[in-house]
Every structure is written in structure tokens, then in C-alpha cells.
Structure 1
Amino acid sequence: MAHKILKIHPKDNAIVALDDLSAGEKVLYNGKEITLVYAVPAKHKFAESDLTPGDKILMYGNLVGKAVENIRSGEVLTTSNVKHEASSFTKRTDGFQWSAPDVSKWKDKTFMGFHRADGQVGTANYWLVIPLVFCENRNVNTIKQAFMDELGFGHQDVYKSYVQQMVSLYQSGKTAEIETLPFQETELSQQSKLFDNIDGIRFLTHEGGCGGIRQDSEMLCGLLAGYINNPNVAGATVLSLGCQNAQISILEEKLNKLNDTPNKPVIILEQQQEGTEQEMLAKAIRKTFLALIEADKLKREPAPLSKLVIGLECGGSDGFSGISANPTVGQVSDFIVALGGKSILSEFPELCGVEQELINRCVDDKTADKFSELMRAYAHAAEAVGSGFDMNPSPGNIKDGLITDAIKSAGAAKKGGTSPVVDVLDYTEYASKPGLNLLCTPGNDVESTTAMAGSGANIILFTTGLGTPTGNPVTPVIKVSSNSKLAEKMPDIIDVDTGPVIAGEKTIEEMGTVLLDHIIEVASGNIKTKAMKLDQADFIPWKRGVSL
């Protein structure tokens, strides 16, 4: 009976169901028999003992909620009987010590990457085409249409073929057969590429650059500069209209701040200075083509694992995420930090309730104070518009056992492992210090992954319990499932399954070893992630308004 339940921390009074449990079923924990009042679905929690209104709910050793009505021992915890409650936080306290994991297995291990002039190493080699303002989106898409198929970066459109079959049936008077027309599932195949050492051209269209407030355009330029500076990028073509808020000079200033000496080709064209649209587009295409010839000369060479910069993300989380997938990613973060690399933990709304632990892990008071200030400012901004971190869990999260933001946060924070926090970065700031970095972003999956790539991540680990079809334009995204049912149901999006942790077949350390070995293969270009195979390349800049 014991294998069906899990008490994560000795202090906890909420117990997790690892399997579907029936009403009236008796479970044993630590010699104590608990009779379940109602059925408890897998991933959900039930009370270990009787609770009264106001009593604290504890998970992961943290305060994650409070009872709002009488809850009997063995009764499932729901949004009706539990409300969000989180611990407050204060100044950093001394005494934190970290025992780094054994990384001797990977000490002399390398990955095959693209070495940049500034010392960064890419796990891929992309060229960017970027509009400084939404007015240039159409021109960017025109360049995309001209380049993708001709250079072999397009994909066979299997859905177009499917529609053609339907058209044929309709024209033949066989409309009834359309309802049962089978779809031949196949991997999207890429055409033969002209440039062997270029992974693709990425077109980062967006709705910003003008209107709104000036700070939005400043941050957009900072984000785009981060993308150009990302080690996975060879260079960029930038289209400007001329009169917008996001001026060329702002982008150049942000680029210079990241690197004193320009080390990548950046082609910038301003439509209001170039003449006709056709002249500008022809010039942009010609200059980009010549730049691609040069970018293709760069080849993969061995690089130490200290050159890896790992983004840590979760999306479509479930009640197992904080038990299997997130701790596995946290183990990998600890491995990378011990090897001298960088990791980036973002999604500040999903650190609610674990702030004090992270504050105590900060290497100094200045770093801790910056984190506290950013968290408080974010929380106040949400409250000012009638929202709050307590409204962060999505309907999918709640359905699968994450009934309060503090429960979600306590599990989400496990992605950051146990290492010291060496730096705290505001949105668009670039990761420069080896070790664990905290990056201020929303919990929104794509806004967060977009930001991590802009802060220098050359690999992103993305945990999910429900299934999330997300990728990034320049950084390979490795999808990690929290449970084996998801991996079996959606094999086209899941790269690594941590379900064996739930089944008791692997420890977190063993699963972390599997994941790190997989990362090295992806970083070397030997394995394409499922997101890359599906050509998922999501890009959403954050407009610093309230986004949870």
C-alpha cells in the first residue's frame, strides 16, 4: 500500500497520491493507517490528519495553503477547502553551505559546439532576421518566403498534402469518405540544405517597437540585442522603418553594452532611408546571402561542458512535476554548476513562498536584496490591477493537483537544484557569472523561454506534466515529462521521460545523469529535439505589464 502515496518532506501534512485511490481505501504511512474519505486521483493530495479552518497546509516542508473549512484525515485537498497561503520573506541569513555533486564522470567530457569570438560556444548556428518594429513584419515575411525553400530550410508540408487529398475526394463526389480519411503520421522532413553548417534562418516577428510606452521599446531592443549576442547566433539582418520608438541607436547601444567590441555581422537597413521597398528587400536578401556564406564556414569543435548555459523552465505542470521532472532538472543544474557552467531559473511568480530559501542561498546581500526588490515589485504590480500570484495556477494545473500557487511554486523551484545563487538578473539582463542565476520573467511559458534565450541560454530544459508544444527560435528546447503516461501519449513532443522516478525505478540522481548525457548529444548536434523536428520556434517579448 505504501508505494501508492508519497510524503515529500517530514514536516508535511499533505500526502501525494501516486496512483488513483478509491474512497474508503486504507493507506499506510509510517505505521499509521489512513482511510480515504473520497476518491483521490493520482497527483492530488489528501490530509494526513484532521484540519480546522486556518490550519496550515505544508508541502515540500513549506507553507503552501491554509484550510478554509474542516478537513478530515484522508480527505482530498481541493480549491474549495484550501486557499493559497505563502511564507513571508526577509533579509538573507548566513550559514548556507553547498555540497557539490560528484561530476567526475563528465570532468573531461566535451560537446561539439560553435566557438564565437567572445568566448561563448553555441549549440547551434542560426542567422536572424529581425524587425525593429511591427511595421516591418510583412517585409521580414517576404524575405522568409524568398529564402526558406530555396536554401533548404523549409519543411515538407504534410498537412497541405492531407488537404489536397480532401479536395480530390470532394471533386470526385466522395465527400462522405472525408470523415474517415486517415492521416499518415510522419516526421516533418527538411529539404536538402545549401549551407551544411547553418541550422536555419529565424524570423522574429513581433507586435512591438512603437506605441505603448518608451520602456517597452527599450526592453525590446535589449531582448533583441540578447538574441543577437546569444552563442547560438552567427549574425543578424535588422529591418527598421525609421520613425519608430525602437530606434537603431538603442539597439546598437544595447549591443555595445553586451560586448565592447562587435564580434558578429549585423546588417541594418532603414526603409525610410533606402528608397523603394523592392530596392530595400533586394539589398537585404543580397547582403544576407553573402553573410550566410561566411557563417557556413564555421564548424563544430570540442568545447568543455563549462560552456553550457542551461535555461530551466516548466509549463503545463502537474502534481508530479515537483516530484520527478523538476528535481531531475535541478540535479542537472547542480551538475552544470559543479562543472563551471551556468544555469538560469526564471518565472518569478512561480517562486512565491520559496523566496526565503533562495534569498539564503544568494552569495551576498546585494544579490539577495535585488531578488527581494524584484519579487515585491512584481507582486505589487499584480495586486495593483486586482490580481496576484495566488491567481497563477492555470485550470490545467488545478485539474492535475496544483491547487495553490504556493504548491506550484514549491515544486517549480526544484528546477533550481541546491546550488548557491550567484546572480539575479532583471528582464533582458545577460547571464555572465558561472553558477545559478535567477532571471525575472513571467510564468508564461513562451515569454519565459523567450527571455532565457535573450539572456544567453544555449540549451533550455522544459518540464511538463500535461504536454506543451513549445520551442525557441535559436535555443534547442528539451522537453522533460513528469510521468510516463504523457510520454507515451505525446511521443512527438517529449524528449526525456522522468516517469521512472514516480515508479520507483530510478533515483533523481540517476535520472539527472540520463538527462545530462542527452543534453550533451543535443548540444553536439547529434540529436535534434522534438521541438526542432516539429519546427516549433515561439517568440513572445514581455511588455512588462502584469503577466503571470
Structure 2
Amino acid sequence: MQTKLIKVQPDDNVAIALVDLVQGDRTSLDNEELIILSDVKAKHKITLTDLNVDDEIIMYGVLVGKAVTEIKKGDALTVDNVRHESSPVEKRTARFTWSPPDISKWKDRTFMGYHRPDGQVGTTNVWLFFPLVFCENRNIEILKDVFEKELSIGKVSRQRRLLRNLISGNPSSVADGEEEEGQQTFDNVEVRFITHQGGCGGIRQDSETLARLLAGYIKNPNVAGATVLSLGCQNLQIEILKNAINTIDPNLEKPVLIYEQQQMGTVDDMLNTIIKESFDGIKKANQIQRQPAPISKLKLGLECGGSDGFSGISANPSLGYASDLLAAVGGSPILSEFPELCGVEQELVNRCVNDEDAERFMQLMKAYELAAEAAGSGFDMNPSPGNIKDGLITDAMKSAGAAKKGGTSPIEAILDYGEYVVKPGLNLLCTPGNDVESTTGMVGSGANIVVFTTGLGTPTGNPIAPVLKVSSNTALAQRMSDIIDIDTGAVIRGEKSIPEMGEEILDYVIKVASGEITAKADALNQNDFIPWKRGVSL
């Protein structure tokens, strides 16, 4: 008999519908019959008790909302009868102990990576081009066109061939897949490009924040070297970038080529110089070969986006188990998206290994929330229309599921945006919940690979780090097979346990880190980069 409902924690007073239910259906949970009082779509929530106005709604063992109307046992929770509510947190309330998972099959695992002089190991080998200011975006685009066409196998996409055939009057001859034109010049280095809208205007602090982020991209072990373009008069001066690099690594042993247009004459002269000198750096980077490295060298970004009502019971806890395995062998998982930790702060505070980090986490969360409220918003406005449509109707409900990505391990460090990961174990990084801003920030803090859970689907990628998509349900994996790397729908069907799926995720991560498998986002050339301007972004 198919299971129709699931209760996440024993003391929860709501359950998640695993299948569509209709009014009048009879089912049971915990050996108690339940009559469904209204139509409920899969992924949405049903109350297991009668609720009066202001009664607490408990899910994942935490407060996720309060009733705004009377809700009868067996009825659906909606945006009309529930409001966001979360428990306040003021201090550590318990000392944390952890029973790590069995790592006997993982402690000696290795991946094939690119070793850097500072001891970090990359999962890719990238020469990175980026501007200090948006004024240089056009020159970056020119360089991108030149280098990608000359250094890479030219891909003629299905869409380009469609247009070609339309022009020739023969649209019916379009085939699936891509055709290759030319030959790849280098087989051991990739050339990637970043553009952005920052570096000038706004406030000076925005440029300083951007400098720290870009310094982190240079420091990231996936980067072999970088070419940087400056106009000259912008807020983000070259010296600010150099200071940011020095803060992260005063002994950086990577080639960083910096060019200032206002000191170099014509565009052609500048671009010719950049091409010659960058090409020499790229040739040298191509000589770096993959070598074995312990998986403790992995810094794993934990991300979610386009979440649904299944994310918190399949994809996220499975990734959380993989995170625990990695933390236990000395790797560095990174949990971010502070607006999506609202409601689970107490658990996270208690998991901090020292009181200073616990206090810093509370301060960062409070400052972020106050900034959102000052702008006329708040964490309660975080769930997107897509989240709400698929069962995540309050921020605390969304957060309780989202936090499962971080597993159960101790929190070794609390980092503000732009700070670099240096401690093994779980790190908490202050970023927005916005998918690309958060992913951009984690890679800038050192993540050399990212796992991104989703229930609705998203194409998000990154210019220098593989981003693996994990679906919470099989229907999504089948519908958007070109962007989904891993399907955790078997957890929903009861075919696999969370630990089994978590081990599958970590094994897949190792294969991608070794270059054995290409992330779907990389295959699609999905290179997203959006810096957080320290204003309000949820």
C-alpha cells in the first residue's frame, strides 16, 4: 500500500502529502485514521490536530508558523490560514555532541585534482578573465569571443543550425545534439570570463565587498591564474583588489595579470598586449596535471533553489548526510543563505563549537533581518511564488527544510560574505537566499564544487566551480533531464534511505571533482555570477 503522508519529527503536528489527496479520502498515520477535509496536492501540508487561532504549527521539530484561523484535523495548511512565525534565540541553550557517520569506506578516498602551491586542490583548472568595473565589460566580451573561438572546439548548437537552415529555406533538416568545428588547442585548462555591473557608483563599501569576492575567486583552488581589466578612475581601484588579495593570502603564488586602460592607449593596443601575455599564462597553466588528493581537500558549497515541499525530506537531508561524511573526513562543507536559516537558529547556535561563533552568528542574522525590515521587507517575505505553489508557505517552513543541507555536524566557523574558508568542518557563510548571489559567494569563499538541490528546477552554474543539480523528485529529473545530475526521488518512494542517497551524492561529487563526469551546468555553459551588493536581497 502506497504511503500517502509523512511526518518528519515525532512531535510535529503537521504531515506532508506524498501524493495528491482529495476531500473525503481516508488514510492513516501513526496507526491513527485521518479523514482528508479538503483537496490537498502532493508536497503540501495537512494538520494532524485541531488548531485554534494563534496555535503553533510544528514541523521538523521546530516552530514554522501559527494559525490565523481555526484549522480542523485533516485540513490543508495554506497562505490564508497560516502566518510565518519562528522561535526567538538569545543564547546557546545546550552543549552539542555529535555522533559522526561511519567513514570507513571514505577516509582513504581520493579524487584527481589540480594541486596549488598553497596546499589547496582544484576540481577544475581555469584561467579567469574579469573586470574591476562594468566599464570594462565590453573588452571582456571581446576577449571572450577571441579566446573561446580560438582555444576551444567550436560548438554549433541545435538552435544555430535551426537558424542556418531557416535562412537556407530548409528547416526540416535540424538534428539533435551539437556539431564540432575545429580542434581544441589545450586539453588541460579552461578559459572562463566574468562580467558584472559593479566597481563604481553606489557606495564605496560595495566596491570593497566586490574586491573581497574577486580576490576569493583568484584564491579559489580551481583558478590557475587570472587576467584583470581596470579602467582606472573607478571606485574599485587596483590597490583595493591587491589589498583584498593580501588579506586572504599575502603569499599568493599565482600569476595575476592586471591592465589599466587609461594608461595603455588605444583599445587595440591594450587588447593585443592582454592577448599575448594571457596566452603565455594559459600555456603554462595547461602544463598542470591532475594528481590524487584526499577528499578532505574538497570545499563543498551546499545550495538550494526552486525548492518544493519534497526538498526538505529527500534532496536536502540526503545532501546533509553527504555533508556529514565530508566533515567527518576533514573536508569543508559550506552552508549559506542566512534568510533560509530563520527559525532554526537555536539548533545552529547550539552546534557552534565555541561561544564566539555562536554570538557572531546571532549578530549577523539579526543585522540582516533588521536591514530587511528597514527596507520594508522581512524574512517572512522570502518564499517565492514557486515555493508557495509547491508547499513552502512560510519562511520558517522553508528554512527548516533548507537547513537540512547542512547535516548534523558541528559548526566550525561563522563567516561573513567575502571571508575565505580556512577551517575543516562545516562553515556557515552569510549570503542572501538568492540562488546565484549565494552560489557566487560560496565560490568566492573557496568552494571548489557546489551541490544544488531543487524541487522545481534551475539551470544555475558558475564560471569556475562545477554546480551539480539534485532533484527532490523523479518527475523533475525526467522533465528537465538536461539540467539534473542526481535524482533523489527514490527517497520519496521509500526505495532508498537518506544515508544511501547521501553516499550516492558524495560518490558522484568525487567523480565530478576528478573530471570523470561533467556537471550538466558546465555542459550547458551556464556561467552565472552575481555579486551581492550589501543591500537587501532575500
Same-fold call, TM cutoff 0.5:
yes
Residues in 2 aligned to 1:7 and 1:247: alpha-carbon distance in whole angstroms: 54
1:494 aligns with 2:484: yes
Please tell me the residue identity of whatever aligns with 1:141. E
1:504-515 residue pairs with structure 2 within 5 A? 504-515=494-505
Q: Deviation per CA, 1:203-235, whole angstroms, max 9, x where unpaired?
A: 110000000000000011110000010000000
Matched, 1:444 2:431: no
Counterpart check, 1:197 vs 2:202: no
Cα distance 1:188–1:471, how it changes in 2: closer, same or farther (>3 A)? Answer: farther
2:530 to 534, 540, 543: 540
1:413 is paired with a residue whose SS is helix
In the aligned structure 2, how far is the partner of 1:412 from the partner of 1:27? 28
The 8 Å contact of residues 359 and 368 in structure 1, kept in 2 or not, is answered as yes
Q: CA deviation at 1:505?
A: 0.4
Once residues 405 and 285 of structure 2 are traced to their aligned partners in structure 1, the CA distance between those partners, rounded to angstroms, is 35
1:301 is aligned to 291
> Could you tell me how far 1:155 is from its partner in structure 2?
3.0
CA separation of 1:537 and 1:191: change in aligned 2, threshold 3 A: farther
Partner of 1:209: 199
Match of 2:82 in 1: 82
Residue 177 of structure 2 is aligned to residue 186 of structure 1: yes
Query: Which one of 387, 402, 409 corresponds to residue 419 of structure 1?
Result: 409
Structure 2 counterparts to residues 64-463 of structure 1, below 5 A = 64-152=64-152, 154-169=154-169, 184-186=175-177, 192-198=183-189, 200-463=190-453
TM-score when normalising by structure 2: 0.98
CA distances 1:468-500 after superposition (whole Å, capped 9, x unpaired): 011000000111000011001111000000000
- Contact 2:165 2:173 survives alignment (8 Å): no
- Partner of residue 475, structure 1: 465
- The aligned amino acid for 2:145 is Q
Partner of 2:23: 23
Amino acid paired to 1:458: N
Aligned to 1:53: 53
Give 1:167 shift.
Answer: 2.6
Find the residue that maps to 1:3 and give its secondary structure: coil
**1:156/1:191 contact within 8 Å kept:** no
Query: Which shows bigger deviation, 113-122 or 189-198?
Result: 189-198
Are 2:157 and 2:178, in contact at CA under 8 Å, matched by a contact in 1? no
How far 1:29 moved relative to its partner?
A: 1.1
Query: Which residue identity does 2:390 align to in structure 1?
Result: D
Query: Structure 2 CA distance, aligned partners of 1:166 and 1:266?
Result: 45
In structure 1, C-alpha distance between the alignment counterparts of 2:373 and 2:64, rounded to whole Å:
19
Aligned 8 A contact 1:306 1:336 in 2: yes
SS of the residue corresponding to residue 227 of structure 1 reads: helix
Contact kept, 8 Å, 1:188 with 1:534, in 2: the verdict is no
Change (3 A) 1:189 1:451: farther
- The verdict on how the C-alpha distance between 1:370 and 1:154 changes in structure 2, with shifts beyond 3 A counting, is farther
The answer to whether the 8 Å contact 2:156/2:178 transfers is no
Give the Cα–Cα distance (whole angstroms) in 2 for the partners of residues 313 and 183 of structure 1.
37
Question: Do the aligned partners of 2:17 and 2:45 also contact (CA within 8 Å) in 1?
Answer: yes
The residue matched to 1:536 in structure 2 has which SS?
Answer: coil
CA distance in 2, matches of 1:415, 1:190: 41
- Cα offset for 1:158? 2.3
Partner of 2:37: 37
- What are the superposed Cα offsets for residues 119-155 of structure 1, whole Å, 9 maximum, x if unpaired? 0000000011110000000111111111111111653
CA distance in 2, matches of 1:40, 1:100: 38
| Distance (Å, rounded) in 2 between the aligned partners of 1:515 and 1:191 | 36
Amino acid at match of 1:226: G
In structure 2, give the amino acid aligned to 1:391.
M
Contact persistence 2:453–2:471 (CA under 8 A): yes
Q: Residue 262 of structure 1: CA displacement?
A: 2.2
1:184 CA displacement: 3.7
Q: Quick one: distance in 1 between partners of 2:496 and 2:21?
A: 23
Task: Report if the CA contact (8 A) 1:155-1:191 is conserved.
Answer: no
Aligned-pair identity in percent equals 61
Of residues 504, 527, 530, the one that matches 2:520 is 530
Q: Residues 247-269 of structure 1: CA distance to partner in whole angstroms, max 9, x if unpaired?
A: 00011111111112121000001
Cross-structure match for 1:175:
none
Contact 1:152 1:190 in 2 (8 A): no
In 1, the alpha carbon distance for the partners of 2:306 and 2:416 equals 24
Deviation of 1:2 (Å)? 6.7
SS at match of 2:135: helix
- Any unmatched runs of 5+ in structure 2? none
Superposed CA offset, 1:307-350 (max 9, x none)? 00000000000000000000011001100000101010000000
Letter in 2 for 1:196: D
For 1:440 and 1:184, the matched residues in 2 are separated by 46
- In 2: Cα distance, 1:205 partner to 1:373 partner: 32
Counterpart contact for 1:351–1:409, Cα < 8 Å = yes
Find the aligned partners of 2:137 and 2:513 in 1 and give their Cα distance.
Answer: 31
Partner deviation per Cα, 1:272-310 (whole Å, 9 max, x = no partner): 111111111100010000001100010000000110000
CA distance in 1, matches of 2:173, 2:46: 44
RMSD of Structure 2 on Structure 1 (CA)? 1.3
Deviation, 1:409, is 0.1
Residue segments in structure 1 that go unaligned for 5+ positions in a row: 173-177
Amino acid at match of 1:396: G
Deviation at 1:190, TM superposition (A): 8.4
* Aligned partner letter, 2:393: I
C-alpha distance in 1 between matches for 2:178 and 2:100: 40
Kindly provide the amino acid, as one letter, of the partner of residue 15 in structure 1. Answer: A
CA separation in 1, counterparts of 2:415 and 2:74?
43
Amino acid at match of 1:501: V
What amino acid maps onto 1:219 in structure 2? T
* Counterpart contact for 1:120–1:231, Cα < 8 Å: yes
Please give the secondary structure, in 2, of the residue aligned with 1:19: coil
Distance change (3 Å), C-alpha of 1:124 and 1:190? farther
**Distance in 1 of aligned mates of 2:174 and 2:479:** 17
| 1:11 CA drift (Å) | 1.0
Counterpart Cα distance in 1 of 2:384 and 2:154: 34
Partner letter of residue 271 of structure 1? Q
- Give the Cα–Cα distance (whole angstroms) in 2 for the partners of residues 166 and 196 of structure 1: 34
| TM-score, normalising length: structure 1 | 0.96
